[in-house]
Amino acid sequence: MRTFSLKEIPESDARFPDLKGKTAIVTGGERGIGQGIAAFLGRQGMNIAILGVSSEEGEYATRQFLENDIPAFWRETDVSQAADVELALDQAVEHFGEIDLLVNNAAQNKIIDFLEYDEETYQATFEKNTRMVYNMSLQCARRMAIRQQGGIINISSVGGLRAHRQSVGYNATKGAVDAMTRAMALDLAPKGIRVNAVAPGAIINRPVSKRMQPVRDKQAEGIPLGRVGSVTDVAGLVGFLGSDVSSYITGQVIYVDGGLVTQLTPPGIYI
């Protein structure tokens, strides 16, 4: 299981009182960065609707939230399928009322060299990933537009600006997500809906085993701030962008990467 126990997700001193009592939809919120975002928003007093594909992890995460007085709802949902999204949103609204914030976190990647790509890999790592953001954003935005308010936050990646090796489809998705963020922000601004993207760098997105700790330590050596980020580092920015504190910010892609994309070369290499 790649899901954190709630006690493994660091708490934050950041507080956004205006989020209390509102409802957030978090796709892929049953594990990794999505789970960290769901936990952070839940600790701010939000109702959390988690949509994802792993029932075991989704039920486990939701149960922990409920046990810690975080109102939570789980539904196994393939958010790349418009009909499934519509049903899930209807149930979330029935459970909590209006949708105030959408966090498009769900995505998948296959580590594979470009020369080994086939149609199935391309569709799974680019077309499906992009469709997840499109489906959720369109259907939530239509609901938000009726009330003339709401927020959409897309979880992008440093891969939208700089390339990961053997991840052509994933990187292309994140570049598309950045472009979609800007375009949706323009169209939805008159409807009172803000759209932004958060682009994480190296993040500890699952419990770290003793075997993997040296890998994480090695990663930290190449990051200007000298550490790998936590899911709460990402979640804190999501909370800020979802709050009224950021009411004049829309159409932006903001990096949470310890300075990773700022540097031209890794430490110790000079040109």
Active-site residue set: 170
Taking a C-beta distance cutoff of 8 angstroms, is the pair 74, 61 a contact? yes
What is the spatial distance between Cα 139 and Cα 51, in angstroms, rounded to a whole number?
A: 14
Taking a C-beta distance cutoff of 8 angstroms, is the pair 262, 224 a contact? yes
73-77's contacts with Cβ under 8 Å and 24+ in sequence apart are 73/47, 73/48, 73/49, 74/30, 74/49, 74/50, 75/49, 75/50, 75/51, 76/52, 77/27, 77/51, 77/52, 77/53
Question: Which tokens in the block code for residue 46?
Answer: 């939000």
Provide the β-strand partners of residue 30. Answer: none
* Closest of 129, 140, 125 to residue 26, by C-alpha: 140
- Give the C-alpha distances (Å, rounded to integers) separating 125 from 122, 168, 173, 176: 5, 8, 7, 12
Centre a 10 Å sphere on the Cβ of residue 90 and count the other Cβ atoms it contains: 12
Going through 66-192 in order, the beta strands assigned E by DSSP cover 72-76, 101-104, 150-155
Question: Which tokens in the block code for residue 266?
Answer: 């890794």
